[in-house]
Structure 1
Amino acid sequence: MKKISLFAFMLAGFLSQAQNNLTIEEATLAAQKGFGIKSFYSAQWRTNNELTYIDAPYNALIAKDTNGTADETLVTTADLEAAIATAINEKVSLRMIPFDYHWENEKELSFTYQGESDKYYVIYNIETKKVSKTIKFSATSTEEIIAPAKNYIVYLNKNNVEIAFENGNVVKVTNDPEHVVNGSSNTHRNEFGIDRGLWISPDGKKILFYKKDERMVADYPLIDFGTRIAVEKPIKYPMAGMKSEEVSLHIYDIDSKTTTQLNIEGDKEQFLTMPTWSPDSETVYVGVLNRGQDHLKLQRYFATSGKLDKQLFEEKSKTYVEPNTPLKFLNDKEFIYISEKDGYRHMYRYNTNGKQMNSYVYNDVVFKDFVDVSSKEIYYMGTANKGMDKLLYKVDLKSGKTQPVTKTSATYTVEMNKDKTWYYSQYTNLTTPNNISLNAVNGKSTVELLNAPNPYEGKTVLPKIEMVTIKAADGKTNLNGRLLYPTNFDENKKYPVMVYVYGGPHAQLVTNRFGGGAGGFDYYMAQQGFVVFTLDNRGSENRGRDFEHIIHRQLGQNEMADQMEGVAFLKSKKFVDADRIGVYGWSFGGFMTTSLMLNYPETFKVGVAGGPVIDWKWYEVMYGERYMDTPEENPEGYEKVSTLNKVQNLKGRLLMIHGAQDPVVVQQHSMEFIETCIKAGKQVDYFLYPTHEHNVLGKDRVHLNAKIADYFMTHLK
């Protein structure tokens, strides 16, 4: 009886632990399953001393002042619904979340509302509880921008630019055929920091816009399997070394109703970056970047004639120049230009004659975003702690003195009030899920709004997370890594490893965030008994120019060398089973996974490669040629990094996953890999998501994660 009781007790303990583990649904859809980290949304300063935000249950706009007095309900969903219904004469259903609003002044806020058959730009008065203005425009519109005087809204209707005025008039600025796309943020495939394609002049009288002619770009077939007979829906996809789109910039004058093209000389396939209006609305600044992406010219054009006024300066590089941020004017005569020409992406002050007045490179900080800009000082977000943190900095433009404003080692989001006396701070770090507060810039006062609890506390046992530093393959560069230990870790046991990898530019997986940047799937795999390891190799983001540019013309090579240093670190741990190491990654990470499986077949026994680049000659011009040049310019490099040339090395189990509608890494990559495996007599597993693009999103991601987990547990555990 005693033995049975002891067994029952042990079994009950085991079942209790098993029940505490995350399910695959909870790991994938954390927020929907009760594991979301509590936060506020749409935080904005209404006045210098009052902030507004939206909090659960998301049916009101809440105000909080810097004195720390009680929360005030400023606007409710019911208030807005009643006012809008009266203004547009139809039934209104409004959700506060997501709710993108803007304070026009202390009494009025503005937002866009999607009605039954039209969209409306709305200004609402919180005192009268009435709508003071509406502008009606097309329900199919995208990328809307409101004029400074709030008298018109400019937007895209499919591939053309339209303007809707407050008097009800609609003007069609362009009338181009399909594949001539005007005013779109999807110009140059969203590279070079492009997040819009329309810019209204400061005086509101002119509109600058991109025109992208892609009729000469090759059609790439995507197949819609949802019809009785599958239908081909081609996209325009400029592959490396092939014909690219031709982009121009145009200005529409609202008063004269005329359009003028900027007379930008050079190759038709060059890139037009950083479009910026001058403060007086008389000229436009453009960064003209050659297709080779190693020579940038900053040029200024007259807005009325489109003629070149002046070339201000040039920037050249032996690797690549990557403009990512529009100019930021300090006054009529000076502006800030962002560049990494001295090693770290940071700020340079120029006058409008093109003379550099000062530079503001501070230690190894990488500039991320402007927060507030004046002629005397700039507040900005930048990195710290070897790229792990993101802090608020202040720089005095005259002296060049820079100092961090936020002091806690963390990843911050900040909103500054108008007079720069207070800022809204939201931060997270390894042990802090989310801390939100109002802070005096002088550091003398703080009002805490939220210190979010750990959403997993009492519901599951999260794995132990350790942040590690590893020497890169060059023997001198420190790399940031993250190690998750299996739940109920026993140092005397041997555990299998899942290496989660990305490794490419513009991405960082290891950060000073809650859990070190690990996600629910990482937790899940650790709870299933895996060591989960991630390393940001050279080539990844936020460590400066030389750290990233090491990848130029040889993608994957130095990245793999660094990842193998991570593997050596793992093998030095007695609890790691060196015979059971697997690797998983998506996109560039899929390329890395495939490359590691083929270049180090004795090390990696299992791999899952999602949406993988297989051969860079099938990737697009803007990203691909920046890092690899063209196949004609760098044939040895393309040959060296192609995974097709090493298929014969495959020994372990490899699962390749792809979205059939992927417009980023087209399915040809994985299909060519499969065909090469067939010819080489190599077995490989393959799974296709018929309706998904580059990422598998929504509820189907549960299916994806379950498949990946099952593959590792079947073949590695």
Structure 2
Amino acid sequence: MNKQFLLFLAIFGFLTLSIAQKKKLTLEEIWGGEFRTEYMDVLRSMKDGKQYTILNFNRSPRSSSLDKYDYESLEKVETIVASSNEIPFFTSYTFSEDESKIVLATEVEPIFRRSRLGIYYVYDVASKSVTKVSDIKIQEPLLSPDGTKVAYVLENNLFIFDVASQTTQQVTQDGNKGTIINGVTDWVYEEEFAFVRAFEWNSDGTKIAFLRFDETNVPHFSMDIYGQNLYPYQYEFKYPKAGEENSKVTLHMLDVASGNISDVNLGDAYYIPRIKWMNSPDHLSVQTINRHQNHLKLHSIDAKNNTVSLLLEEKDKAYVDIDDDLTFLSDDSFIWTSEMDGYNHLYLHKKDGKLKTQITKGLWEVTSYYGYDQSNDKIYYQSVENGSINRDVYSISTSGKDKKRLSNKTGTNSAAFSADYTYYINTFSNATTPYEFTLHRVAKGKRMKDFNEDNELISKGRLIKDNSALLNKLEGYDIVPKEFSTININGNDLNMWMMKPKDFDPNKKYPLLMFQYSGPGSQQVANRWLGSNDYWHEMLASEGYIVVCVDGRGTGYKGRDFKKVTYLNLVKYETEDQIAAAKKLSELPYVDENRTGIWGWSFGGHMSTNCLLKGNDTFEMAIAVAPVTSWRFYDTIYTERFLRTPQENPEGYDNESPFNYPELLKGKYLLVHGSGDDNVHVQNTMRMIEALVQANKPFDWAIYPDKNHGIYGGNTRLHLFTKMTNFIKENL
């Protein structure tokens, strides 16, 4: 064999190896959107159940369109409305009940997590005409059922706009920033009860029920906004910290024709987390709950005279969760979810509130309720019956019989049903499959069937959209699958995933980085596609780290007792579980017990801080992003749900507050916060810093000016994760 040929083989082999070598993920790619997944945006079924709408966006030229598709063919039927010279670029849409009108949102700007201001237009589907609701940015516009009017909130007052005459009626007069709010929620309701619009039309458009918030005595919070000008300014809003006074919330009824407003007396109601009209235009349901949030009541209001009757009440030794699953059937009997048997399940109640039957049963939880097909007596829901890290879609009758598993792939399945429950679009992903959207048909009372192009029933569903292009792109990168398992800690089998380096060698020693959130009812160990943080974890794994996530006690979908064991001692047991898990993982022959780190954001930042301090013999490093450092600084509704008030339970607040024991710090600590965080205030980090300074403990920290709890915008996330990556490389 001659030298030239040997040289050729060597060069060819080197080139082949180079070509085959996988690329490593970079921070610039992760936070530049290189691995963004495709979705079906804002999909809604039309009332006929045969077609659905999707909001589509084009980047160049920048435009938006509301398009109608046919379920059977998956073909686009028409563009209902598109942005143009007359209709500005719109980012959301809402139909009237009769689908004759559509509210389009433009020039939207955020207030807090869910609240928005915007310029809104009403589009008439038949005439194709468009009408601007207000020249001033407003909140929460909602069409009346017949599409003739729009109710909305402006500067804390409720207004009604008549579309035909283009005239506006101001309904309430007393709205004022910092004192009275009509028709939308205050900060703490928005954040913790997860809704903003606090008014509802009845079914015939003759009445509007609305909430009024008197936040006069709620302490105000202020934060400096640095901005771009010569002087910063203070942004102030009402924020009730644990144990402080909340808004006084009352329920009122507007008679639309006369403009008269009447009061509804709910007795000793403290919080009013939900209002919902029944099918009858004269009956409103109202949920109230006490300050401890362990005694929930469902009321029925007769709107003709505002009389109140109690339908049901639910009590718990810890707390009762609020959800949006309440559904009234045609006779105003209703479906309700509850943890009363130890797991979250569906129940059917008679019109008078008496329990008729428990619909679902078992040592598993219903995780989403999709709706009820009355003509076929079928309820559709999602649950974790196939393992707490998975989600499947099921149907069942109201008697609790004829249960069918409708989804057919293991992972995370969710459903968007057509209005008549003939079809549904399944969204599926798992840890190795990015989101795919498939069309399915629901056969009468039988297992869900799907159809091919010849309309023959087959088993997999017709593919609408997937992320195969993303999957193909990732083939060229150094990606490892999550390994799912359980780890027995403190007598509980805890869900866990692990990422190992691509070239993992069990004879080597690797540093261990743990990630967690750990908040009540949360879940991080789930069989679903990667999020941005997961790509970062993949990058770290490719650089020689073992990354692990463990869902400890207090997290969700494993029953009431597992979730609520942390009641009155928030973060205590969760911290113990992470420390014990780290110790057990350090016993693995391929884990370097002297290089163990942990990181988390928000609740997870509190956890990582506590683990570094209380587990100072176990953890060598921690990163805390936007952490709570004392629950005394956090809001009433969330904190008191789990701890009661500081006046009642001071030990529950202070025993787990890390700035009360800064002297325990031994390892490397990075503390990060956004100065404009309206949720977990930067006060938490500043108090932690002061405690560490006075204890003469070294640490690293970063403040991102004017950034909120998400710490994003421009290059912010790239900068943050670059800093975190460098900190890990230097200290782990």
Determine if contact 1:345/1:367 at 8 Å carries over to the other structure.
yes
Following TM superposition, by how much is the alpha carbon of 1:323 offset from its aligned partner in structure 2, in angstroms?
2.3
- Whole-Å separation in 2 of the counterparts to 1:523 and 1:100: 37
Structure 1 position 100 matched with structure 2 position 102: no
- Report % sequence identity: 27
Following TM superposition, by how much is the alpha carbon of 1:102 offset from its aligned partner in structure 2, in angstroms?
4.4
> In structure 2, which of residues 636, 640, 662 is the aligned counterpart of residue 647 of structure 1?
662
User: Residue by residue, what CA displacement relative to the aligned partner does 1:117-167 show, whole Å, maximum 9, x if unpaired?
Assistant: 952111334xxxx51564633541111211111011111113221111112
User: Residue by residue, what CA displacement relative to the aligned partner does 1:540-598 show, whole Å, maximum 9, x if unpaired?
Assistant: 12222112101101111211222234324422332221111111101000000100000
- Corresponding residue of 1:21: 24
- Corresponding residue of 2:351: 352
- Corresponding residue of 2:459: none
- Corresponding residue of 1:146: 143
- Whole-Å separation in 1 of the counterparts to 2:17 and 2:728: 22
Change (3 A) 1:11 1:246: farther
Could you tell which deviates more after superposition, 142-151 or 572-581? 572-581
Q: Give the residue type in structure 2 aligned to 1:656.
A: L
- Corresponding residue of 2:554: 539
User: Residue by residue, what CA displacement relative to the aligned partner does 1:164-204 show, whole Å, maximum 9, x if unpaired?
Assistant: 11121211112222221121144624324535312111121
- Corresponding residue of 1:591: 606
Q: Give the residue type in structure 1 aligned to 2:262.
A: T
- Whole-Å separation in 1 of the counterparts to 2:29 and 2:168: 48
1:641 counterpart SS class: coil
2:240 counterpart SS class: coil
- Corresponding residue of 1:299: 299
Change (3 A) 1:714 1:517: closer
Could you tell which deviates more after superposition, 146-155 or 677-686? 677-686
Following TM superposition, by how much is the alpha carbon of 1:236 offset from its aligned partner in structure 2, in angstroms?
1.3
Unaligned runs of 5+ in 2: 109-117, 452-461
Change (3 A) 1:304 1:439: same
Question: How many residues are treated as equivalent by the alignment?
Answer: 692
Following TM superposition, by how much is the alpha carbon of 1:411 offset from its aligned partner in structure 2, in angstroms?
1.5
Following TM superposition, by how much is the alpha carbon of 1:687 offset from its aligned partner in structure 2, in angstroms?
0.9
Could you tell which deviates more after superposition, 368-377 or 330-339? 368-377
Following TM superposition, by how much is the alpha carbon of 1:6 offset from its aligned partner in structure 2, in angstroms?
11
Change (3 A) 1:119 1:639: closer
Structure 1 position 241 matched with structure 2 position 243: yes
- Whole-Å separation in 1 of the counterparts to 2:296 and 2:449: 45
User: Residue by residue, what CA displacement relative to the aligned partner does 1:88-120 show, whole Å, maximum 9, x if unpaired?
Assistant: xxx44436xx453549779x6734153899521
Could you tell which deviates more after superposition, 10-19 or 283-292? 10-19
2:489 counterpart SS class: coil
- Whole-Å separation in 2 of the counterparts to 1:220 and 1:403: 51
> In structure 2, which of residues 524, 534, 542 is the aligned counterpart of residue 527 of structure 1?
542
Determine if contact 1:224/1:233 at 8 Å carries over to the other structure.
yes
- Whole-Å separation in 2 of the counterparts to 1:470 and 1:160: 52
Determine if contact 1:587/1:613 at 8 Å carries over to the other structure.
yes
User: Residue by residue, what CA displacement relative to the aligned partner does 1:55-74 show, whole Å, maximum 9, x if unpaired?
Assistant: 685866666545547x3462
> In structure 1, which of residues 110, 113, 130 is the aligned counterpart of residue 102 of structure 2?
110
2:387 counterpart SS class: coil
- Corresponding residue of 2:224: 223
Q: Give the residue type in structure 1 aligned to 2:167.
A: N
2:257 counterpart SS class: coil
- Whole-Å separation in 2 of the counterparts to 1:13 and 1:560: 49
- Whole-Å separation in 2 of the counterparts to 1:422 and 1:654: 52
Following TM superposition, by how much is the alpha carbon of 1:503 offset from its aligned partner in structure 2, in angstroms?
0.5
Change (3 A) 1:4 1:662: farther
1:245-644 correspondence runs (5 A):
245-266=247-268, 270-308=270-308, 310-325=309-324, 327-375=326-374, 376-442=377-443, 443-446=448-451, 447-453=462-468, 455=470, 457-458=472-473, 460-475=476-491, 477-515=492-530, 519-644=534-659
Q: Give the residue type in structure 1 aligned to 2:181.
A: V
Change (3 A) 1:416 1:497: same
Following TM superposition, by how much is the alpha carbon of 1:667 offset from its aligned partner in structure 2, in angstroms?
1.5
User: Residue by residue, what CA displacement relative to the aligned partner does 1:237-291 show, whole Å, maximum 9, x if unpaired?
Assistant: 2111122221111111101101112112116xx1112212222122322222111
Determine if contact 2:295/2:320 at 8 Å carries over to the other structure.
yes
- Whole-Å separation in 1 of the counterparts to 2:58 and 2:226: 40
Q: Give the residue type in structure 1 aligned to 2:358.
A: S
Q: Give the residue type in structure 2 aligned to 1:444.
A: K
- Corresponding residue of 2:454: none
Change (3 A) 1:299 1:56: closer
1:150-165 correspondence runs (5 A):
150-165=147-162
Following TM superposition, by how much is the alpha carbon of 1:689 offset from its aligned partner in structure 2, in angstroms?
0.9
2:93 counterpart SS class: coil
Could you tell which deviates more after superposition, 60-69 or 505-514? 60-69
1:41 counterpart SS class: coil
Determine if contact 1:583/1:606 at 8 Å carries over to the other structure.
yes
Determine if contact 2:155/2:177 at 8 Å carries over to the other structure.
no
Change (3 A) 1:434 1:170: same
Structure 1 position 74 matched with structure 2 position 78: yes
- Corresponding residue of 2:166: 168
- Whole-Å separation in 2 of the counterparts to 1:573 and 1:271: 49
Following TM superposition, by how much is the alpha carbon of 1:452 offset from its aligned partner in structure 2, in angstroms?
2.4
Determine if contact 1:470/1:478 at 8 Å carries over to the other structure.
yes
Change (3 A) 1:185 1:382: farther
- Corresponding residue of 1:88: none
2:347 counterpart SS class: strand
1:211 counterpart SS class: strand
1:137 counterpart SS class: coil
2:42 counterpart SS class: strand
- Whole-Å separation in 2 of the counterparts to 1:509 and 1:405: 25
Following TM superposition, by how much is the alpha carbon of 1:610 offset from its aligned partner in structure 2, in angstroms?
0.8
Determine if contact 1:104/1:110 at 8 Å carries over to the other structure.
no
Following TM superposition, by how much is the alpha carbon of 1:472 offset from its aligned partner in structure 2, in angstroms?
4.4
Q: Give the residue type in structure 2 aligned to 1:286.
A: V
- Whole-Å separation in 2 of the counterparts to 1:115 and 1:28: 25
Determine if contact 1:27/1:524 at 8 Å carries over to the other structure.
no
- Whole-Å separation in 1 of the counterparts to 2:275 and 2:724: 43
Q: Give the residue type in structure 2 aligned to 1:709.
A: T
> In structure 1, which of residues 659, 663, 669 is the aligned counterpart of residue 674 of structure 2?
659
- Corresponding residue of 1:137: 134
Q: Give the residue type in structure 2 aligned to 1:238.
A: P
- Whole-Å separation in 2 of the counterparts to 1:652 and 1:708: 15
- Whole-Å separation in 2 of the counterparts to 1:613 and 1:5: 62
Q: Give the root-mean-square deviation of aligned CA atoms.
A: 3.1
- Corresponding residue of 1:714: 730
Could you tell which deviates more after superposition, 432-441 or 567-576? 567-576
Determine if contact 2:677/2:706 at 8 Å carries over to the other structure.
no
- Whole-Å separation in 1 of the counterparts to 2:539 and 2:14: 22
Following TM superposition, by how much is the alpha carbon of 1:502 offset from its aligned partner in structure 2, in angstroms?
0.5
Following TM superposition, by how much is the alpha carbon of 1:603 offset from its aligned partner in structure 2, in angstroms?
1.3
User: Residue by residue, what CA displacement relative to the aligned partner does 1:671-692 show, whole Å, maximum 9, x if unpaired?
Assistant: 1111111111111222111111
